[in-house]
A and B are shown apart, each in its own frame.
Chain A
Amino acid sequence: MSRIQSTFATLKANNKKALIPYITAGDPHPKFTVELMHAMVKSGADIIELGVPFSDPMADGPVIQRASERALVHKVGLRKVLALVKEFRLDDDNTPVVIMGYANPIEAMGIATFAASAKESGVDGVLTVDYPPEECEGFIAELNKHDIDSIFLLSPTTEVKRIDLVVKQATGFLYYVSLKGVTGAANLDVEEVKTRVANIRKQTSLPVGVGFGVKDAATAKSVAAFADAVVVGSRTVLTIEQSSEETLVANISALIEELRSAID
């Protein structure tokens, strides 16, 4: 059983929902990334989603794009991100880490080299934003070879037939994008998301996480009422942006604790 599967199994047994915070690796400086990851786990994160900085993050909003820009100043590329995960693993062998990013850095490294290196670093899942299932059969085969989960997005506009196609390829969990738009966009309509998630469940037994637009504890709480996981991205990144180097870790810990108690 993969780390992601056993995490969801344990949560389910305890009647709890997963909290998945996102940060961009290397933001605001690579020296903070591992410390932030540990702090988030300590404050109640179940899975860490780690963004790979990219020069052209088309599916992200301005908040996460700025995080990429801050990290790229320090030349944090995919290899460095994997090295950070490896460093995290020295002190944490339980918490799943999902890498989220764009196809080009992976292709620049080579898909086989990436998959082997990701496994070796302790990565559990990979979400490649601009790899729809039709375009990444070879990549998924590489991930499967190393027992790395392939996380896929589903959106409000994904039709029933297409959900079938996606869930056939997906492992670990599904990530439902709760609104039309980019990361960090407007507030989500909880009732609509609830209906959508219920429909997705008719087609898969995989856990379903909800993200894009979870901006505060109240939204996190209402989403946790029906989803298996709550993904919080732009909100965490914004907290990093608004913190000084001294307050960074404390502010992120406080935010995660607040979200944790809201969804419990």
Chain B
Amino acid sequence: MQLYDMPDERGHFGQFGGSFVAETLVEALDELRVMYEKYRHDPEFLAEYAYDLKHFVGRPSPIYHAQRWSDKVGGAQIYLKREDLNHTGAHKVNNTIGQALLAKRMGKPRVIAETGAGQHGVATATIAARLGLECVVYMGSEDVKRQAPNVFRMKLLGATVVPVESGSKTLKDALNEAMRDWVTNISDTFYIIGTVAGPHPYPMMVRDFQAIIGIEAKEQMQEMVGRQPDAVVACVGGGSNAMGIFYPYIDVPNVRLIGVEAAGHGLETGRHAAPLSTNSAVGVLHGNRTYLMQDEDGNIIETHSISAGLDYPGVGPEHAWLKDIKRAEYVGITDDEAMTAFHSLCRTEGIIPALESSHALAHAEKMAKTMRKDEIILVNLSGRGDKDINTVAKLANITL
């Protein structure tokens, strides 16, 4: 039994979270909340979820001791939770399976999703295909251009990809557009949100479905080294992979939890996506109260990160809470630092990490150097980098 018991019944993590939506969405969210409460502890539902995680996704994902890289870095031992080995190549699928199974139980034949880099879109299209659900994915038109392979993947899987032309034409605009679809098609549509943001119950529900990462890690670390790590490090955009690995560790004393945001061109430049590590103002966006990158009028400002998956102006409300109660720490890693760690892991360990995960790796590298050789850092390697090869090639002026 966990001592940590958040959120409250209306989805608040202290002052954060909640359900800030127009009246037109309240009924749909109430229905979702009631159905999720009904199924989250239902043995049959959980068995179905566990079966898919094992046989469709390939869980449990292993933990790997990156020994050569640890030696090279010099200092603490770095272990990697290999979410990159999941079917579809990232942690996102843990959540889309959970929500799609719920959609099926709720009798909704159509699922919609927003996506930035395309990983959540692919993970949603994948499970929709497997369950025979109609699938529509909203994606900013800028991202559609930048992430062509993932757009094609979604189409192969039978999904309709809708390019969003409004606003900054990126993830946040895709989310706005998906919300609009949902409010118009409430009766037959389930909205699969990809991160621990949005109105209640999404932050809690996505966390619960991603918590499998931390649950496995606790057992695996015990088996491998007979103890828990000194620090757990994960990248944070909206924050779903970080919440997934942090959550089961919140009550474990002496395990530092460190979330790594995208510092883009540098925290001091303003060109980043790091609302927590820059102490941004608290505000309301996408249905929840959290730290937000905004101007003095309360309009959301454009963010920058080399990694599309971290390029989001807000952050899940539970991270905002963990920061305020000082249970987790949040730091920024720049584009350049992430790229260095990316190449380093490729060459030293034979693993191509996602650019998102490379932010966590870069910070682990910094920390490891200041720690003893018998100390342990566990990094959530949230996804594989195959999707990023075009971005990396472009940086090196190479045409593929």
Which residue numbers of A lie inside 8 Å of B, CB to CB? 53-59, 61-62, 65, 69, 72, 75, 77-79, 102-109, 129-132, 134-135, 152-155, 157-159, 162, 166, 177, 180-182, 185
Contact = CB atoms under 8 A, between A and B. Distances in A.
A83 to B, nearest CB: 13
Contact of B180 (A58, A106, A158): A58
Given A104-B285, A107-B284, A181-B183, A158 B23 contact: yes
A132 B180 contact: no
A58 B300 CA distance: 13
Contacts, number: 124
18 contacts: A56-B167, A56-B300, A59-B183, A65-B167, A72-B299, A104-B284, A104-B299, A107-B283, A130-B21, A132-B20, A132-B26, A153-B23, A154-B23, A158-B23, A177-B24, A180-B185, A181-B183, A181-B184
Contacts of B22: 58-59, 129-130, 132, 153, 155
* A77, A155, A159, A177 pick with most chain B CB within 10 angstroms: A155
A130 B289 CA distance: 11
B278 to A, nearest CB: 16
A184 B27 CA distance: 21
Contacts of B149: none
Nearest to B166: A65
Contacts of A155: 22-24, 26-27
A103 B26 contact: no
B24 A78 contact: no
Contacts of A185: 184
B24 A108 contact: no
Given A79-B297, A157-B186, 20 more contacts: A53-B299, A54-B298, A56-B285, A57-B176, A69-B166, A77-B295, A104-B300, A105-B297, A105-B298, A107-B282, A130-B21, A132-B20, A134-B10, A134-B19, A153-B23, A155-B22, A157-B26, A180-B184, A181-B180, A182-B184
A165 B295 CA distance: 34
B14 to A, nearest CB: 14
A78 B296 CA distance: 10
A115 to B, nearest CB: 15
Nearest to A79: B297
B319 interface: no
Contact of B19 (A102, A109, A132): A132
A54 B27 contact: no
Nearest to A54: B299
A130 B20 CA distance: 5
Interface in B248-302: 281-287, 292, 294-300
Nearest to B172: A56
A135 B18 contact: yes
Contacts of B24: 59, 153, 155, 157, 177, 180-182
A154 B297 CA distance: 28
Contacts of B166: 62, 65, 69
A154 B27 CA distance: 11
8 shortest A-B CB distances, which residue pairs?
A77-B297, A108-B298, A105-B298, A157-B27, A181-B184, A59-B22, A55-B299, A153-B23
A68 to B, nearest CB: 9
A104 B19 contact: no
B354 interface: no
A169 to B, nearest CB: 12
Interface in B151-183: 166-167, 172-173, 176, 179-180, 183
B129 interface: no
